């Protein structure tokens, strides 16, 4: 797995604007979803200024004393854990399918 490259564009007490180098809608949607599960997130969104030449720009605003960099890091860790669980479930289902006799439904 390659390491993602980030370019911090703006950082404030409760706000973070970061460019996600080499990513697209698939990853950004998943990350945004993970962030929005966190009750300390006031707003999370992203935009891709131009789909052919631009990198996604992600924006996070937190509530209270929550550090937006910490919130982003936590969301990424949770997303990784969810993906590992999905991969494990898929692998188990695949192994189960391979162990079944083939030719079901034939007389």
pLDDT of residue 101: 80
Residues in the chain: 107
**Alpha carbons 104 and 83: distance in angstroms, whole number:** 32
Query: In this model, does residue 58 exceed pLDDT 80?
Result: yes
pTM beyond cutoff 0.85: no
Question: Cα-atom radius of gyration of the chain, to the nearest Å?
Answer: 19
What pLDDT, in 10s, does the model give residues 33-53?
A: 999 999 999 999 999 988 788
What pLDDT, in 10s, does the model give residues 70-103?
A: 999 999 999 999 999 999 999 999 888 888 887 5
- Domain locations in the chain as residue ranges: 5-98
In this prediction, residues 1-28 reach a mean pLDDT of: 90
- CATH architecture under which domain 5-98 falls: 2-Layer Sandwich (3.30)
């Amino acid at each position: 797995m390659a390491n993602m490259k980030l370019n911090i564009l703006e950082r404030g007490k409760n706000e973070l604007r970061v460019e996600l180098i080499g990513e697209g809608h698939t990853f950004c949607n998943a990350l945004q979803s993970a962030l929005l599960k966190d009750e300390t997130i006031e707003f999370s969104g992203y935009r891709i200024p131009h789909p052919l030449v631009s990198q996604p720009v992600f924006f996070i605003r937190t509530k209270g004393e929550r550090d937006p960099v910490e919130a982003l890091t936590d969301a990424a860790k949770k997303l990784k854990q969810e993906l590992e669980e999905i991969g494990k479930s898929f692998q188990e289902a695949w192994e189960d399918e391979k162990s079944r006799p083939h030719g079901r439904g034939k007389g």
